[in-house]
Amino acid sequence: MLCALVTSAASQSPQIPAKNPAATTQSAGAQVERKRLLAEDVFKNVEIFKGKDAARLIPAMDALRGLLGVDCTHCHTQFDWANESKPAKQKARQHFKLIEMVNREYFGGGNAASCWTCHRGQAVPMKYQRDEDAVAHATVAIQIPAASAELPAERVFKNIQRLKGVSAGRLPLVMAMFTKSLGVGCEHCHVEGMWELDDKPEKTKARGMLSMVGAINGQFYGGNGPVHCVNCHQGNVKPELVSGTPSEGVFSPAAATAQPK
């Protein structure tokens, strides 16, 4: 009789469905997705970091202190981080967009330029200081006739492309700026004595870089901006990406020549 009762009870007990491993995995994945917080979910007035994980924002802000050599209050109002009153905060956003544009349009989306590239631990990047010895050397090398100094460069020299409209007499100043900014001699881009030749790929790259500088100043500074070769190169052929590490970004002249001249 007892066996019959047990058997009857067992037959009437509700059946517990077996677990579906796939459904369990999907549920866990959905929970993880729901727990992912974006920067704009946690902080106010987020623009540049919108769509990025919230956990990335504070380390990025801490890194900027070293990259620019400043405190948080350089851009922010202490304890009121969402406050937009400081011009430096707007400038920082503008510079983030500048870096993104340069990397996207001139280096194929690679990580070729960073805040460090120009700032090197200083709030204000290096500015070009005219070197009279370099100007004198370029003047002797180029040999511009006095009667031609005021003429457009393209009427005095052959194969002038990016410097059309610049007076021939200014070419020594421009060339001296290039050599000092990159820490090179004229032969880096030119065949000495045959300046018009395009034999060296560095010359083509230099033209592309001038287009890039023009695009930066035009897009972010209204045309006549502060960006020059020296800001990134600072006396070296390759700018730095991080401290002590030259950038390995591959410059794309095709992207540069597509920019407005």
Within-domain flag for 170: yes
Within-domain flag for 5: no
What pLDDT does residue 15 have? 52
Within-domain flag for 17: no
Is 56:49 a contact under the CB 8 Å cutoff? yes
**What is the arithmetic mean of pLDDT over 41-54?**
96
Query: Is residue 260 scored above 50 in pLDDT?
Result: no
Residues 240 and 141 in one domain: yes
pLDDT digits (tens, 9 = 90+) for 127-145: 999 999 999 999 999 999 9
Q: Which domain holds residue 201?
A: 132-257
Residues 77 and 166 in one domain: no
Token pair belonging to 246:
């030259």
* Length of the chain counted residue by residue: 261
Instruction: Report in angstroms the alpha-carbon separations of 27 from 16, 32, 34, 212.
Output: 19, 9, 11, 49
Residues 151 and 244 in one domain: yes
Residue 93: name the closest of 109, 121, 63, 115 by CA: 115
Query: Is residue 14 scored above 50 in pLDDT?
Result: no
What pLDDT does residue 28 have? 54
Q: Return the CATH number at 251.
A: 1.10.468.10
pLDDT digits (tens, 9 = 90+) for 90-127: 999 999 999 999 999 999 999 999 999 999 999 999 99
Residues 105 and 169 in one domain: no
| pTM of the complete model | 0.81
Q: What's the structural domain count of the chain?
A: 2
